[in-house]
Chains A and B, each alone.
Chain A
Amino acid sequence: MKKVLQVQSLKKYFPIYGGLLSRETSQVKAVDDVSFDINEGEILGLVGESGCGKTTVGRMTLRLLEPTSGKVLFEGVDLLSLKGKELAMIRPKMQIIFQDPYSSLNPRFTVERIIGEALSVHGLAQGSELRKKVETLMEKVGLSRMYLKRFPHEFSGGQRQRIGIARALALNPKYIVCDEPVSALDVSIQAQIINLLQSLQKEDNLSLMFISHDLNVVKHLSQRTAVMYLGKIVELAPTELLNRKAAHPYTQALLSSKPSLDPTDRKRPIPLQGDVPSPLNPPSGCHFHPRCPKVVDRCKTEIPRQIELEAGHTVNCHLYDD
């Protein structure tokens, strides 16, 4: 299968300044040595709790954030080596849909301008042709073309997210990062947007990175799922396999803390002690060890390596390393 995106040992350390002369005193390891790839026409789910680095990974794959080190290959081209015109040429192929439909649309622009801006910036259409393209895009995401001249505040959350999706689709991208696109929406609207994303993905054979903290949504949409904890991917597997045979204690805990929809099945989740530690001062060895119910001595000192349990199912945990 053709790989659209290949990410190799990607790192992002944010500097922390302090002291009298505001010197760099320490670093937040937001993303620490992350590798994965996304196939053509595939949806990869990226799950984890707040602050684990999901969004940072997503933005780095688009080069909206400059990585500290590592490699990002987009259709075989090293994205980080591109400059100026070359980078501008490749940008239309990769897009992003943001979490918050309220703050990600310019309140002073009409829908026509929001959706059409990228087309005119890249000189792909203008005048009546531009309007026609915007109208087609609006219909594609289920918005009436009557809304062309309206402003974002006149729309509901779900409709705004549709505008955000139309904007991302305007340049016929190959790869879209969806950064929690439904978590700000109500349940009944969530389903509408998920269905829309799914049908658009099939129609154009798009590759998506779907970032979410909602395991049910990721399970419904994605073919493969990566689980992140404190800047590292701790487990990656085909979604069905991950849900059936989660190997990492953190993945198991995440899956069991997801409340079941069956009121007669009130099992108590695997208790996870404490909170997510600060990435400013992560625990030694395996970052998860202070909360892990299956911790052994080795976890406290040694960072676990990646182990392939079966084809396509990798886990970073000492339990499986003998």
Chain B
Amino acid sequence: MHSQDPLLDIQNLSTFFHTEENIVRSVRNVDLKIYPGETIALVGESGCGKSVTALSAMRLVPMPPGNFENGRILFKGKDLLQASEQEMQKIRGNEIGMIFQEPMTSLNPIFTIGDQIIEAICLHQDKSHEEARKLALKVLKKVAMPSPETRIDQYPHELSGGMKQRVMIAMSIVCKPSLLIADEPTTALDVTIQAQILDLLDELKKETQMSILLITHNLGIVAQYADRVAVMYSGKIVELASVENIFASPSHPYTKGLLNSLPKDTISETLETIPGAVPHPAFLPKGCAFHPRCAEKMSECEQEIPGLQPLENHAEHQTACWLYNKTPAL
């Protein structure tokens, strides 16, 4: 077990969106603890609620239509859902950094990258413009930006995708956050650049002891960079375990299906598939949301939602499936 207190403790969080026609249940009763210095990967297909979970932790969910139905998000013991907007502004970008999926659209095109990093510094630290510029240059060097002295005065359109993502990382780590949320940080980048960026994040993590919440749908990235993995499906965490256990002995049928559907190194004739498609979050089936696609479906799966429970003899390996436990969700 972890000896330290969790840095971020998401308890029973539900984030719904109330649209004119219906209620979109994006995040449903999610529990997740992030400990200091670990990388936890949040995996799932598009629309499963990964990004909304992260945006909830930053309180960046647009309200309305979004609404926190229930739950708490404790960051260093303080409930972020109860914090004022002013308090949140002190935390965002300072104690919790965030990197978005698209470096192309996340930077302001009319300011130089230096200005944008300096703004982040001056908002949170009592520094003169001169000092802030020095720090910006230092952090650009740290993220291995080529020729940082010239780049600092350039505009986003003069940089390549990989360089823009380095700027995003520089901005998010310049105030030394204790938690970094990286939402698909390399999805828009090429494979050779992807490896550079992820290695950089890994090094920074080791150096500063920050925690990383890594949101991705790429299981290869999960295997290479995560310490623990949370698999999400239709707004719920269906399996939570160490990265070794997820890949060596997955328990939830969805996790198994995801891993089996990847092309393997051994050449096989056909790939295994999960039949059907992800349900719309406004029209979720009764019971376990995965049951219409599940090969091991039982009668109780159609009735009640299973709770996330530890497996027998594996306190650290939790799964939400009627095959393994008999406790319904709250």
**A159 → chain B, closest Cβ, in Å?**
8
**A31 → chain B, closest Cβ, in Å?**
18
* Contact A186:B217 (CB < 8 A) given known A50-B190, A257-B195: yes
Residues of A within 8 A of B190 (CB): 49-50, 213, 276
**A227 → chain B, closest Cβ, in Å?**
12
Residues of B within 8 A of A294 (CB): none
B67 within 8 A of A: no
* Contact A272:B196 (CB < 8 A) given known A194-B263, A216-B262, A263-B224: yes
Nearest B residue (CB) for A215 = B191
The answer to whether A158 touches B277 (Cβ under 8 A) is: yes
Stretch at the interface among B122-130, B168-176, B265-273, B308-316: B265-273
B19 within 8 A of A: no
A260 within 8 A of B: yes
B194 within 8 A of A: yes
Kindly identify which residue among A188, A254, A260, A272 contacts B223, using a CB–CB cutoff of 8 Å.
Answer: A260
The answer to whether A261 touches B192 (Cβ under 8 A) is: no
The answer to whether A188 touches B224 (Cβ under 8 A) is: no
The answer to whether A275 touches B262 (Cβ under 8 A) is: no
Using a CB-CB cutoff of 8 Å, which residues 195-218 of chain A contact chain B?
Answer: 195, 198-199, 213, 215-217
Interface centre among A50, A189, A217, by most B CB within 10 Å? Answer: A189
Kindly identify which residue among A50, A159, A192, A220 contacts B267, using a CB–CB cutoff of 8 Å.
Answer: A220
Nearest B residue (CB) for A221 = B263
B282 within 8 A of A: no
Question: Complex formed: what's the CA distance from A254 to B193 in Å?
Answer: 10
Residues of A within 8 A of B196 (CB): 271-272
The answer to whether B278 touches A186 (Cβ under 8 A) is: yes
The answer to whether B247 touches A263 (Cβ under 8 A) is: yes
Question: Complex formed: what's the CA distance from A209 to B192 in Å?
Answer: 23
Nearest B residue (CB) for A253 = B192
Residues of A within 8 A of B163 (CB): 275
A90 within 8 A of B: no
**A161 → chain B, closest Cβ, in Å?**
12
Residues of B within 8 A of A213 (CB): 190-191
Binding site for A on B (CB under 8 A): 45-46, 146, 160-163, 190-196, 199, 217-224, 226, 243-244, 246-247, 257-259, 261-265, 267-275, 277-278
5 nearest A-B residue pairs (beta carbon): A259-B220, A220-B263, A191-B261, A186-B45, A49-B190
Q: A49-B192, A188-B261, A254-B191 are in contact. List 5 more A-B contacts (CB 8 A).
A: A50-B190, A188-B278, A199-B270, A220-B264, A253-B192
